[in-house]
């Protein structure tokens, strides 16, 4: 696995020897010299190129290679909070949670205004079922100005897992007001900030997500998450007809189709794996 090494490019100074008179030489000495590139410029450029390559590895889900690439850069720039956070994300993606936490905490220490490692520490605590701790991290991340749709989504999951369903709904609605696509499969999972995607009792979780979309009048997504709730085994589907949160979408044919049709499978092993 090839590591990236940064080399400072020396600046070559050319000394001109002239046969001109001493007076002319003194005059030339007093002339304003042309700007000379500083030694740091090539190194900074090389570091950015190396970081871009590491980011590409992350996008390709080549996490081990990305870790090696980030660590190589950190040898030369060990206080770079953004790189420390990215390294934590890469470790989290391969379930090396202790290493991920270490790098997130280092990033937080290097830049106390950086919100992403604070959110990411929240996702680690969530994974350990430390829901109250994760709530505290998410609230801190919001105060620091993190990607708010993602953090509100995470906060909703944490409240849901604490069975604080009203607070979960409030957080989900906040997330949707910022980004209506936040719960779509392709949305919200950036290279620097982690978004929670799983919870116990996914049938009930998807029902609450459907309620959130319904309150916003998004019948298409409400029907989608209702279908997931039904397929995961949520039983009280007919309550939708009387639930005020579904009032804006309940007559939509897509919603009614979900309510009137049973899933095409009965085997629990055939239930969908993700939302």
Q: Are 85 and 146 in contact (CB under 8 A)?
A: no
> pLDDT for 31-69, tens place per residue?
444 444 444 455 667 888 999 999 999 999 999 999 999
Higher pLDDT, 191 or 266: 191
The average pLDDT across 124-135 equals 97
| Residue of 1 and 145 predicted with greater confidence | 145
pLDDT digits (tens, 9 = 90+) for 2-22: 443 433 333 332 333 233 344
The answer to the question of residue 91 being in a domain is: yes
Q: How far apart are the C-alpha atoms of 239 and 230, rounded to whole Å?
A: 12
Q: Residue 149: inside a domain, yes or no?
A: no
Look at residue 142 and tell me whether its pLDDT is greater than 60: yes
pLDDT at position 75 is 95
Query: Residue 136 falls within a domain, yes or no?
Result: no
Average pLDDT estimate for 139-159: 94
* 30 occurs within a structural domain: yes
Identify the pLDDT of residue 258. Answer: 94
Q: How confident is the model at residue 158 (pLDDT cuts 50, 70, 90)?
A: very high
Handedness of CA 28, 30, 32, 34 (dihedral sign): positive
Write the DSSP assignment of 122-190 as a string of letters. Answer: HHHHHHTT-HHHHHHHHHHHHHTT--HHHHHHHHHHHHHHTT-HHHHHHHHHHHHHH-TTTTSTTSS--
Instruction: Report the mean per-residue pLDDT for the chain.
Output: 83
Q: What is the pLDDT at residue 9?
A: 35
**Does residue 176 lie within any of the structural domains?**
no
Give domain status of residue 69, yes or no.
Answer: yes
Express each pLDDT in 205-250 by its tens digit. Answer: 999 999 999 999 999 999 999 999 999 999 999 899 999 999 999 9
211 vs 223: CA distance, rounded Å: 10
| Residue at 181 is within a domain | no
Q: Within a domain: residue 4? A: yes
Q: In this structure, what CATH number is given to the domain that contains residue 65?
A: 1.25.40.10
Residue 76 lies in domain: 1-113
Q: Rank 144-148, 250-254, 257-261 by mean pLDDT and report only the highest.
A: 250-254
Q: Is residue 173 packed enough to be buried (19+ CB in 10 Å), middle (13-18) or exposed (0-12)?
A: middle
Q: Count of domains in the chain?
A: 1
């Amino acid at each position: 696995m090839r590591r990236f090494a940064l080399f400072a490019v020396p600046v070559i100074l050319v000394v001109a020897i002239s046969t001109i008179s001493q007076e002319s030489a003194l005059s030339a000495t007093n002339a304003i010299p042309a700007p000379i590139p500083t030694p740091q410029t090539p190194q900074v450029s090389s570091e950015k190129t190396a970081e871009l390559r590491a980011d590409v590895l992350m996008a390709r889900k080549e996490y081990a290679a990305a870790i090696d690439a980030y660590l190589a850069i950190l040898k030369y720039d060990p206080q770079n909070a953004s790189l420390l956070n990215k390294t934590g994300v890469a470790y989290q993606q391969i379930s090396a949670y202790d290493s991920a936490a270490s790098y997130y905490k280092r990033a937080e220490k290097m830049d106390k205004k950086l919100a992403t490692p604070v959110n990411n520490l929240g996702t680690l605590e969530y994974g350990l079922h430390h829901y109250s701790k994760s709530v505290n991290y998410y609230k801190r991340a919001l105060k620091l100005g993190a990607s708010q749709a993602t953090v509100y989504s995470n906060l909703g999951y944490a409240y849901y897992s604490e069975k604080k369903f009203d607070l979960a709904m409030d957080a989900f609605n906040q997330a949707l007001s910022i980004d209506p696509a936040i719960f779509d499969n392709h949305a919200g999972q950036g290279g620097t900030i982690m978004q929670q995607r799983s919870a116990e009792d996914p049938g009930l979780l998807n029902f609450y997500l459907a309620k959130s979309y319904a309150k916003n009048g998004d019948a298409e997504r409400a029907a989608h998450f209702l279908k997931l709730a039904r397929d995961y085994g949520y039983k009280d589907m007919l309550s939708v007809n009387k639930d005020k949160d579904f009032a804006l979408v309940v007559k939509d044919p897509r919603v009614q189709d979900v309510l009137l049709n049973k899933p095409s499978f009965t085997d629990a092993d055939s239930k969908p794996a993700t939302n």
